[in-house]
Amino acid sequence: MKLTAVAIIIAMLSPLAAHATLGAAPSAPAASASTPAKRLSALPATPAAPYTMRESHSADGVTIHEYVTPGNIVFAVTWDGPTRPDMTALLGSYFPNFVQAGSTTGHGTGPLIERTGDLRIESFGRPGNVMGKAYLPRLVPAGVDPAALQ
């Protein structure tokens, strides 16, 4: 319990990266000395895919995909890279759910899969190759399969 509280306090005091926050409007990337990021592309929504996918890369080499509804709300984020991205920035108000999921699965390097409540998280990999996704089922557009998001 004490470790969880300390992790939350540290995460809230650390600088935020320039990525969209799950459940909020996408944010424009802003570079800083500690967390520069570069927005690479945005694919527009089409009738076949009722969302926009935005890709960015952190200075650490993590690729982040943000999935945005036509109403300009991020319903999912995925990541792939040598380290886990700044989860506080990606998950926003859902970060405590992420911390709680991690504390219930134990401490270690195994996969983290949490499918309860409003937030779905899947994070797995090994040192140097970490990937995952987080999404809000209530915001996923009709006809979109979250399993297909990469």
The answer as to whether 71 is a domain residue is yes
Answer yes or no: is 31 within a domain. yes
Q: Which CA distances in Å does 13 have to 8, 62, 86, 121?
A: 9, 22, 12, 23
| Number of alpha carbons in the 13 Å side-chain half-sphere of residue 142 | 1
Q: Which of 59, 48, 94, 47 is nearest to 74 (CA)?
A: 94
9: in domain: yes
Per-residue pLDDT for 95 more than 60?
yes
User: What local confidence, expressed as pLDDT, does residue 139 receive?
Assistant: 93
SS3 88: helix
Share of the chain above pLDDT 90, in %: 26
pLDDT at 102: 64
* pTM, 2 dp: 0.69
Are the C-beta atoms of 105 and 121 separated by less than 8 Å?
no
Asked, for residue 6, whether it belongs to a domain, the answer is yes
Phi, psi of 116 (to 5 degrees): -125, 155
Task: Look at residue 149 and tell me if it is in a domain.
Answer: no
pLDDT of residue 23: 81
150 within domain boundaries:
no
Domain span including residue 33? 2-144
**How many other β-carbons are positioned within 10 Å of the β-carbon of residue 26?**
19
Q: What is the DSSP string of 28-78?
A: -----SS--EEEEEEEPP-SSS-SEEEEEEETTS-EEEEEE-TTS-EEEEE
**Residue 130, in any domain of the structure:** yes
pLDDT for 60-93, tens place per residue?
899 999 999 999 999 999 999 999 888 888 888 8
Our count of domains for the chain comes to: 1
Q: Would you say residue 34 lies in a domain?
A: yes
As given in the structure block, the two tokens for residue 49 are 């895919």
